């Protein structure tokens, strides 16, 4: 029976420098995981996260990469294997949001949104499937908008939607190695990612749809991801909606 804890496991965190990914990197390290902290443009945050982990006695390394480029996805996993000898857990928190009517969306915006939300998500799962040790865990971050009927988020929710199907297929294809594959789809989260797309009134409305009239907090999501990466290994092929009741299906 495999030990489903974080102790001495190697975790690759896509977008692991700040916000949700940053808290995840620190939390995994506190539980004894060696963490590969990926970042794209947030180099200072990545250095800060790695330093905080090391100062607390943990192990971490930062890796830059544009995960819309398959070569960069591969290099990220190469670094994990070269540095720590293997990979056990891969969490992809990367994403990009755009709230714009379909009639105004450009080809460039479509390609950008699907590049990071869908293509990067696919090749992250592919490379994780190639490189993870048996009993590994792969977790992608979706959005609770996948369970909503709303305007404006065609390329964001639409770009994240394929993650569910990539997850299902990968869960079947990697099952013979006991690798669990899931998507976590949080409600609108109280991070700088969310606010620029919304008016204060709409932000208030989003909050009003969850228990206690509040947005989702990254502290609510990290335990869900941690559970899937440990004792929750029996979940596979699923999309979970931790969102205080904001949307469901």
Q: Among the options 84, 156, 178, 246, which is catalytic?
A: 156
| Cβ–Cβ under 8 Å, residues 59 and 34 | yes
* By the rule CB under 6 A, 19 interacts with ligand NAP: yes
In whole angstroms, the minimum distance from the beta carbon of 117 to ligand NAP comes to: 7
Say whether 87 sits in a helix, a strand or coil.
strand
Sort residue 175 into left (φ over 0), alpha (ψ -120 to 50) or beta: alpha
According to CB under 6 A, which one of 41, 150, 199, 213 is a site residue for ligand NAP?
41
**C-alpha distance from residue 106 to each of 135, 156, 248 (Å):** 42, 13, 30
**The one among 25, 27, 42, 183 contacting ligand NAP by CB under 6 A:** 42
Distance of alpha carbon 18 from alpha carbon 232, whole angstroms: 25
Q: What is the dihedral of CA 23, 26, 32, 37, to 10 degrees?
A: 100
Directed axis angle between helix 162-173 and helix 120-131, to 10°?
10
Residue 95 binds ligand NAP, judged by CB under 6 A: yes
- Output the smallest distance, CB 21 to ligand NAP, in A: 5
Question: In the numeric block, which tokens belong to residue 118?
Answer: 């869908």
Is 227 a binding residue for ligand NAP by CB under 6 A? The answer is no
Identify which of residues 67 and 139 has a Cβ nearer to ligand NAP in the complex: 67
Nearest approach, Cβ of residue 24 and ligand NAP (Å): 9
Q: Which two tokens stand for residue 98?
A: 């755009």
3-state SS, residue 18: coil
Residue 20 within binding range of ligand NAP, rule CB under 6 A? yes
Binders of ligand NAP in range 136-155 (CB under 6 A)? 141, 143
Listed ranges 3-11, 162-170, 189-197, 224-232: which one lies at the site for ligand NAP (CB under 6 A): 189-197
Give how many residues touch ligand NAP by CB under 6 A. Answer: 27
Place of tokens 């770009």: 159
HEC profile of 121-134? HHHHHHHHHHHEEE
- 246 catalytically annotated: no
Of residues 190 through 209, those in contact with ligand NAP by CB under 6 A are 191, 193-194
Task: Give the residues lining the site for ligand NAP (CB under 6 A).
Answer: 15, 17-21, 39-42, 66-68, 93-97, 116, 141, 143, 186, 188-189, 191, 193-194
* Catalytic annotation, residues: 156
């Amino acid at each position: 029976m495999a030990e489903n804890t974080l102790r001495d496991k190697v975790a690759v965190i896509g977008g692991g420098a700040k916000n949700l990914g940053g808290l995840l990197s620190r939390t995994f390290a506190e539980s004894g995981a060696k963490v590969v902290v990926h970042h794209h443009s947030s180099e200072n945050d990545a250095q800060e996260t790695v330093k905080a982990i090391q100062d607390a006695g943990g192990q971490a390394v930062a890796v830059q990469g544009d995960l819309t480029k398959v070569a960069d996805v591969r290099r990220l996993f190469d670094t994990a294997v070269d540095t720590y000898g293997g990979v056990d857990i891969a969490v992809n928190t990367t994403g990009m949001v755009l709230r714009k009517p379909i009639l105004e969306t450009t080809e460039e915006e479509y390609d950008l949104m699907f590049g990071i939300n869908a293509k990067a998500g696919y090749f992250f799962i592919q490379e994780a499937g190639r490189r993870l040790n048996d009993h590994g865990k792969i977790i992608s971050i979706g959005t609770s908008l996948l369970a909503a009927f709303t305007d404006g988020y065609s390329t964001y929710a639409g770009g994240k939607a394929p993650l569910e199907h990539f997850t299902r297929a990968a869960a079947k294809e990697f099952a013979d190695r006991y690798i669990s594959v899931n998507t976590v789809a949080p409600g609108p989260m109280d991070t700088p990612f969310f606010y620029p797309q919304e008016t204060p009134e709409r932000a208030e409305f989003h909050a009003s749809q969850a228990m206690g009239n509040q947005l989702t907090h990254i502290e609510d999501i990290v335990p869900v991801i941690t559970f899937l990466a440990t004792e929750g290994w029996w979940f596979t092929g699923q999309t979970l909606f931790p969102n205080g009741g904001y949307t469901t299906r």
